[in-house]
């Protein structure tokens, strides 16, 4: 299925101040590209002299427009005696000052555009982790730029539901990208002859838990059986990926659940990967829950 990108005509930016040009580009759905400075004593400092591409040129949404901006030499702030040219027609002091002017021009642009750093739709990508720290959020490098921006926006809203089943489901959906079922006031069944008696399958041997402060998180991952991977290396990589994902989800649960509660994280293993169990037979089938049952 093909997708058609939105085409936008480049707006006219010539004779606008750089800050105004940047704002107009944002409103048009475009971005500010490379800014080049050209000395011009006739134009107002900071005014756009040229743009590339030219006004009216069709661009895809999000593409950049490069600008050439007027500036004047720092020499204008010095007495007239320093404006004199040498016998070759140059001015060593002017050339020397251009080094510092080039450095400071970049800083001036950032200062003029500082308000964009606090706009989640316009902030630079490398500034997002700092914004995320304001709402106690750690960004995952695997997330897309769009997802990072959206999560920072809704982080404070999600925190309102922190410690609840609804909030936990939201966090696992947004941050872990998994859909789970949460059973409150619940815990895995104990050993009951004839009802729950397959150790490791439908029952567990563990201490007695107060169900008033416990819950179960069930996750049914849509994984293909590992044996379908052709090589041992691919199987190893896939197992490692799954283990890392499980650890990530478990850490999210522990971070978001109430401190006084206990959670049992239950992962439904695909039927094809469940071990084939046999009655217990010493030295042959004797690992309960793995190769034998009672």
In this prediction the pTM is: 0.64
Q: How far apart are CA 184 and CA 128, in angstroms?
A: 35
Average pLDDT over residues 38-46: 87
What is the C-alpha to C-alpha distance for residues 53 and 10, in angstroms, rounded to an integer?
Answer: 7
Q: Which residues contact 45 (CB under 8 A, 6 or more apart)?
A: 70, 71, 72
Smallest Cα–Cα separation from 238: which of 227, 250, 252, 251?
Answer: 227
Cα 158 from Cα 292, distance rounded (Å): 44
- What confidence tens digit (pLDDT) does each residue in 139-191 have? 888 888 999 999 999 988 888 888 899 999 998 998 888 999 999 998 877 66
As to burial, measured by CB atoms within 10 angstroms (0-12 exposed, 13-18 middle, 19+ buried), residue 69 is buried
Strands 278-279 and 262-267: unpaired
Of 34-43, 203-212, 261-270, the range with the lowest mean pLDDT is 203-212
Q: How far is it, in rounded angstroms, from Cα 219 to Cα 43?
A: 65
Pick from 113, 37, 112: nearest CA to 73: 37
Distance CA 100, CA 83 (A): 17
pLDDT digits (tens, 9 = 90+) for 85-137: 888 888 888 888 888 888 887 787 788 888 889 999 889 899 999 999 999 88
Residue 212, Cα to own-chain centre: how many angstroms? 36
In whole angstroms, give the CA distance from residue 73 to residue 187.
Answer: 75
CB 61, CB 30: distance < 8 Å: yes
Out of 106-110, 253-257, 268-272, least confident range? 268-272
Q: What is the 3-state secondary structure (H, E, C) of 30-66?
A: CEEEEEEEEECCCCCCCEEEEEECCCCCEEECCCEEE
Q: What is the mean pLDDT of the chain?
A: 84
3-state percent breakdown (helix, strand, coil) of the chain, nearest 5: 40, 20, 40
Strand order in the sheet with 64-71: 31-39, 64-71, 48-52
Q: Give the residue from 115, 105, 101, 18 showing the smallest Cα distance to 66.
A: 18
Q: For residue 175, what pLDDT is reported?
A: 87
């Amino acid at each position: 299925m093909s997708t058609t990108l939105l085409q936008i005509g480049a707006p006219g930016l010539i004779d606008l101040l750089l800050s105004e040009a940047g704002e107009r580009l944002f409103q048009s759905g475009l971005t500010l590209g490379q800014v080049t400075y050209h000395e011009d004593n006739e134009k107002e400092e900071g005014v756009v002299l040229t743009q590339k591409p030219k006004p009216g040129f069709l661009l895809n949404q999000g593409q950049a427009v490069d600008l050439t901006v007027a500036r004047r030499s720092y020499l204008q702030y010095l007495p007239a005696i320093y404006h004199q040219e040498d016998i070759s027609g140059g001015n060593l002091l002017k050339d020397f000052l251009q080094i510092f002017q080039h450095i400071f021009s970049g800083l001036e642009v950032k200062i003029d555009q500082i308000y964009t750093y606090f706009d989640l739709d316009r902030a630079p990508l490398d500034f997002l982790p700092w914004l995320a720290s304001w709402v106690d959020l750690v960004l995952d490098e695997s997330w897309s730029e769009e997802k990072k921006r959206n999560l920072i926006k809704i982080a404070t809203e999600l925190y309102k539901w922190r410690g609840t089943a609804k909030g936990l489901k939201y966090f696992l959906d947004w941050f872990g990208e998994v859909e789970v079922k949460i059973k409150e006031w619940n815990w895995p069944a104990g050993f009951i002859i004839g009802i729950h008696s397959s150790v490791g399958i439908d029952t567990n041997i563990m201490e007695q838990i107060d169900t008033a402060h416990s819950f179960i998180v069930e996750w049914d991952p849509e994984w293909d059986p590992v044996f379908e991977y052709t090589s041992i290396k691919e199987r190893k990589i896939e197992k490692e990926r799954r283990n890392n994902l499980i650890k990530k989800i478990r850490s999210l649960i522990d971070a978001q659940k109430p401190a006084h509660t206990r959670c049992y994280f239950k992962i439904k293993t695909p039927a094809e990967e469940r071990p084939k169990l046999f009655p217990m037979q010493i030295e042959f089938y004797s690992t309960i829950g793995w190769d034998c049952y009672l």
